[in-house]
Amino acid sequence: MEITQLNIYPVKSLKGISVNHSTLQEHGLAWDRRWMLVDAQQRFVTQRQFPALATVEVALTDKHLVLSHPNAEPLSLSLIEPKGNLRLVKVWNDHCKALPESDDVSRWLVAALGEQAQGLSMVRFATEFTRAVEDDFLDGGAAHTYFSDGYPFLIATTGSLDALNQALVAKGEAPVPMNRFRPNIVIKSDEAWAEDRWATLSEQSGTFQLALRKPCKRCKITTIDQHTAAVPAPAEPLKTLIELNTQPSQKGAHFGQNATLLEGSGSVIRVGDKLSVTARSV
């Protein structure tokens, strides 16, 4: 098996960036989910509430995070941490400490997305603090992340996407691309749902090792076209994932596996890396 895609999402719920390589860190791939949009109550805002966020392009240069949209001139933000008072912001039930970005971002979002973006601001995770991953699935270990939904890495396979799309097409529905699931690491695998039986993934020479912790329960973001923000079929692919019942002991639609880093913090992960797996004990 080998890695076929690496994706980072510097700003939670905005467009992702496909990269050829990245640095592995305990909290995720370098720059992944470092920023987030919040409302006036400092609660996280995503495509669940605001599908148009999918239309905001994100780029990283050596010195800047760059936001772009057809309705506004690109906006560059320094990668150097801003000065200012820390804010307490909320991601699901977690309270995180964050640094506010300039009000220029809030004005830019309104220019790009319209009045519906009024009241949004952008914050950056304050890296001197940590946000712990739930310990229920860590086998006694510990892990932390930035502004991801809950885990530092999301792993998906081509075999599972192929199986899902075969089921969609058989029902007369359109197939969906991998970007609907916003994975960090995509692995070429001919076997559908094989990742649900993996305990660990290791680079073959031992550079790094990831632990697959928990199936990823999917939400309505998977129904949103990640280029246009349209919702072509409101129930899909969630309805078909539920019918496939890949996690018989759990309710809901699942696709991919949440993961944490066991070994190799600071090492480089690359598209094309060959991987070996260990299976879960039954």
Predicted pLDDT at 282: 67
Q: Alpha-carbon distance 132 to 145, whole Å? A: 7
Say if residue 39 is exposed, middle or buried (CB neighbours under 10 Å; 0-12, 13-18, 19+).
middle
Contact yes or no for 183/195 (Cβ under 8 A): no
Say if residue 9 is exposed, middle or buried (CB neighbours under 10 Å; 0-12, 13-18, 19+).
buried
pTM of the model: 0.96
Predicted pLDDT at 281: 82
Q: What pLDDT digit, counting tens, does each position of 99-155 carry?
A: 999 999 999 999 999 999 999 999 999 999 999 999 999 988 899 999 999 999 999
What type of residue sits at position 57? Answer: E
Residues 6+ apart with CB under 8 A from 211: 139, 141, 199, 200, 259, 260, 261, 262
Q: Alpha-carbon distance 150 to 146, whole Å? A: 9
Predicted pLDDT at 83: 82
Predicted pLDDT at 211: 97
pLDDT tens per residue across all 282 residues of the chain:
999 999 999 999 999 999 999 999 999 999 999 999 999 999 999 999 999 999 999 999 999 999 999 999 999 999 999 887 899 999 999 999 999 999 999 999 999 999 999 999 999 999 999 999 999 999 888 999 999 999 999 999 999 999 999 999 999 999 999 999 999 999 999 999 999 999 999 999 999 999 999 999 999 999 999 999 999 999 999 999 999 999 999 999 999 999 999 999 999 999 999 999 999 986
